[in-house]
Amino acid sequence: MSHIPVSVIIAAGGNPDDFHACLESLRPTLGMRDEVVCVLPADRPELRAELRGQSWLSVVETGEPDPGRRWAVGLEATRHPIVVLVDGDVVLSAYWLDPVVESFADPAVVAAGPRCQHSYGPQQADLPDSALTSAAAFKAYAREWRHEHREEFSDVDRLGPVCVAIRRDALAIAGGPTADLPYERLAVQGRLVVAQAALVAHVGSPRCGLRPDVPEPPGEPLLSASLIVKDEEDVLGRSLDAVRELVDEIVVYDTGSGDRTVEIARAHDALVVEGFWSDHFGDARNRSLEHCRGRWVLWIDADEVFTGNAKAVRDALRHAERDAFFATIDNQEGHEGGAGTSTIYYPRMFRRSHARIYGRLHEQVVDRITGRALNGSLLPDLVLDHSGYTRLRGLVKNKAQRNLRLAKLAAEDISGLTAVGNLARSQLGSGHIEECIETSERGLAQAREHTHHVLFLKILADAYLTVGRLAEANETIERLRGIANTPFTVGEHEVKLRFAEGDYERTLELIEELPESGANDLLYGVGKGRFAGLHIDALSRLDRHREAAFQLRQALRDGRVPVPVARMAQVLGAADGSLAEVAELLPREALRGLLFSIAEAPPEAADELLEALWRRYPGEPTVLTLAARVGRQVPLIRAMEWSARLRQHGFPAQCTLLALSADERRTPRERTLAAAIALEMFHDEAALPLLHEALSSVPDAESEAVLHEMRILAPQVSANIELADA
């Protein structure tokens, strides 16, 4: 072979047949001056038997179970500047080493690797089953692959541990090899590259030999909660309260909060790590995992609340044989027309030693070595209530634009349809519909797996529905119907289509055909609850007002808020009801679910509902929090009442009069009177600069009228102003 000399270190592992296939495939790819060291586990005599007569390599034995230490033993026994680390149960294709080593002709490259079936990160290659029936079949497939990708090299943000070449001096500067290999520290020294023409695979067992069978230490805690956060003071406390009985420790990795997030986390006895944000959710979550001590980890977000059975979950973990469990995640959505709840099933609980988080956006739990999604089963008692998809919270966190930016970066990081799908979803969520349609069509053209076809057709159907291109939406839904394994996959889109067409009777029929709970082809939950808003609206448009009000009342009793506050007023009013019913029907524990809906409501409706809630729950902090949010929008007299209540209950900083007087959207008259009243009634000196600023904005033609009102509402303040002007 023509490449510069390298040191190849083989970590012997797996079963003897796979190890034999690895050695047989490696030898013909080596150069004359390459050196090869095999690191052999001391307790694997059956692997040593495969090394008889292999004079072209040397052997070192170690009792070290940790992959990082095994690589280090191999490094000590080699000398070339470029070291190649190879898992001992992969099959290597012809000439795979040449393009990998060729990458180092650029002195800026510090690490390079081939594409690899069953490897973590951008190296991962999805190969057809036909290519993995035997070593010969794989090599034939790899020959075609090599010709197709000749001279292709890609810069990436990380490589996997299965097969990689690294500059020895760069690895030393990075602190030496680790189980995952220190790519973050390598990346600051230079480029990481994938040689696209090179291909390796696990042709035999899908289990990688790099993972040692080490029993979990009995002294470790059972379960850690891991969160990454930034500016989550409005939701974090509730999330931590809910998970306290479930977990043994809470690790909060803060990525740069400017509010009280860190203070709240510490008050809940969490281990707080003040970290950084690198536009990569997966990396941030992995940095949080580094501080967890539990045998199991629950990944949870600050806007998620555990609502399951803590004892049942912990009992399941103590007897678990699997590496992961799926959680039921109930998403509160929208408050646009038709919004309700949706459910997804996602692996959120996993063995810490076996997993990592992968993905810049819409991250996944994967095997820490092979990069494959962890297998798991649904744990019914592991339930999370997620408010992150509500419309206002999305606006507050600027999620749509953030996700679009990260999805674009992710598509640059890695190839593959997962990144393309995330980009299409982010384009849809941020309103870039034409780009979403183009990306979805590109994904469909490349799709080979059933789930990818379903994913892109579903995104495409929603995109057409969003812009009212109903004929194209209908055509896409029919394409989806032709490949779907369950009718629920199609039904959820058809409900929205028939409603958009004005066929409200058919809309109701389709909603009735949906299950109370079920799963579509992508394992997303599908049920009637997601379309509670459309159900109510369809009944209203058919003038079935009492039925619509009945459905709304039932949803409220169940703790759900399916339509906006203004729409509630219309639906209840048409059935001789009022918003005051909401306060009576909605359970106290569901009050927080109104936060975003009330904040979006017209001021009059918001104030009416808040007043009813106050009468039902006087002194309730959640109601006061809502009032503080919307108080600046209500009429002046109502702002006075809410200010008095807030101050009476210990929230002077949230005074609605001060908020109103600082709000430039209100008239100079309103701002002036609000500040004057705050000064008169509460002697709050914080109102003084606000009063002076507002007064200076009052037009001369209105100044006498404003002063007249001030004499009535704030006589002492008015007298002082007039005395100062005299």
Is residue 75 domain-resident?
yes
The answer to whether residue 629 is domain-embedded is: no
- Among 71-80, 257-266, 273-282, 332-341, the range scoring the smallest mean pLDDT is 332-341
Q: What is the mean pLDDT of residues 382-397?
A: 62
Q: What would the mean pLDDT of 386-414 be, rounded to a whole number?
A: 65
Q: Are residues 316 and 365 in the same domain?
A: yes
Q: Residue 537's domain is classified under what CATH number? A: 1.25.40.10
Greater pLDDT, 343 or 535:
535
pLDDT in tens, 12-30: 988 898 899 999 999 999 9
Give the burial string for 230-241 (b: 16+ CB within 10 Å, else e).
bbbbbbbbbbbe
Please state the length of the chain.
726
* Burial class of residue 515 (count of CB atoms within 10 Å of its CB; 0-12, 13-18, 19+): middle
DSSP assignments along 378-399, one per residue: EEEEEEEEEEEEEHHHHHHTTH
pLDDT, residue 630, reads: 82
* Residue that wins the pLDDT comparison between 2 and 237: 237
Residue 213 belongs to some domain of the structure: no
Would the pTM count as exceeding 0.85?
no
- Same domain for 64 and 125: yes
For residue 582, tell me if it sits in a domain. no
348 and 312 in one domain? yes
Q: What is the pLDDT of residue 171?
A: 96
pLDDT of residue 402: 81
- List, for residues 530-575, the tens digit of each pLDDT value: 899 999 999 999 999 999 999 999 999 988 888 888 899 999 999 9
613, pLDDT greater than 60 = yes
- Say whether both 238 and 151 belong to one domain: no
User: Higher-confidence residue: 89 or 543?
Assistant: 543
Which residue stretches of 319-398 are H helix?
391-396
Q: pLDDT-based confidence at 337, cuts 50/70/90? A: very low
Confidence class for position 43, pLDDT limits 50, 70, 90: confident
pLDDT score of 256: 94
Per-residue buried b or exposed e for 605-639, using 16+ beta carbons within 10 Å of the residue's own CB: bbbbbbbbbbebeeeeebbbbbbbbbbbbbebebb
Phi, psi of 84 (to 5 degrees): -115, 120
Same domain, 348 and 251: yes
Write down the pLDDT at residue 516. 82
At residue 597, the pLDDT reads: 74
- Answer with the one of 534, 560, 586 that is the final residue of a domain: 560
Q: From the CB of residue 175, how many other CB atoms can be counted at a distance below 10 Å? A: 10
Using 50, 70 and 90 to split pLDDT, how confident is the model at 593? low
pLDDT at 421 over 50: yes
Residue 641 located in a structural domain: yes
Sequence-ordered list of residues with C-beta below 8 angstroms from that of 654, at least 6 positions apart, any chain: 624, 625, 628, 646
* pLDDT of residue 395 exceeding 50: no
Residue ranges making up the domain that contains 372:
223-396
- Split into its structural domains, the chain has a count of 4
Q: Is 503 exposed, middle or buried (0-12, 13-18, 19+ CB in 10 A)?
A: middle
Q: Where among 560, 577, 595 does a domain terminate? A: 560
Q: What is the pLDDT of residue 314?
A: 96
Q: Do 139 and 93 touch, CB atoms closer than 8 A?
A: yes
Q: Assess whether 66 and 177 both reside in one domain.
A: yes
- Predicted local distance difference test score (pLDDT) of residue 207: 55
Judgement on whether residues 377 and 501 belong to the same structural domain of the protein: no
The verdict on residue 173 lying in a domain is yes
Q: What confidence tier does 414 reach under pLDDT thresholds 50, 70, 90?
A: low
CB under 8 Å to 121, separation ≥6 — which residues?
A: 156, 158, 159, 160, 358, 371, 414
pLDDT at 336 over 80: no
CATH number at residue 130: 3.90.550.10
Residues 370 and 455 in one domain: no
Q: How would residue 394 be classed by pLDDT, with cut points 50, 70 and 90? A: very low
Domain check: are 349 and 418 in the same one? Answer: no
My answer on whether 388 and 409 are in the same domain is no
Residue 262, SS3 per DSSP:
helix
Each residue of 134-191: pLDDT tens digit? 889 999 999 999 999 999 999 988 898 889 999 999 999 999 998 888 888 999 999 9
Q: Summarize the confidence of residues 650-665 as an average pLDDT.
A: 91
Give the pLDDT mean for 201-228: 73
Tell me if 620 is assigned to some domain: no
Compute CA distances 363 → 275, 285, 407, 416, 555, whole Å: 19, 9, 11, 14, 32
Please name the residue ranges forming H helices in 93-167.
97-102, 135-148
pLDDT averaged over every residue in the chain: 88
Residues 247-256 have pLDDT tens digits of 999 999 999 9
> Taking a C-beta distance cutoff of 8 angstroms, is the pair 302, 236 a contact?
yes
More confident: 304 or 596: 304
Query: What is the model's pLDDT at position 396?
Result: 43
Per-residue pLDDT for 435 more than 70? yes
Q: What is the pLDDT of residue 345?
A: 84
Which range among 79-93, 367-381, 678-692 shows the weakest confidence by mean pLDDT? 367-381
Structure tokens at 189: 């020294």
Q: How far apart are CA 286 and CA 336, in angstroms?
A: 35
> Are 529 and 649 part of one and the same domain?
no
Question: What is the structure's pLDDT at 397?
Answer: 47
Tell me what percent of the residues of the chain surpass a pLDDT of 70.
Answer: 93
- Of 339-348, 407-416, 470-479, 518-527, the least confident: 407-416
> Whole-angstrom Cα distance, residue 13 to residue 317?
28
Across the range 623-629, mean pLDDT stands at: 83
Quote the pLDDT of residue 287.
92
User: Which of 342, 373, 396 is at the close of a domain?
Assistant: 396
Q: Are residues 534 and 646 in the same domain?
A: no
Give the whole-angstrom CA distance, residue 334 versus residue 513.
23
Asked if 530 and 563 count as a contact pair (C-beta separation under 8 A), the reply is no
**Mean pLDDT along residues 478-484:** 95
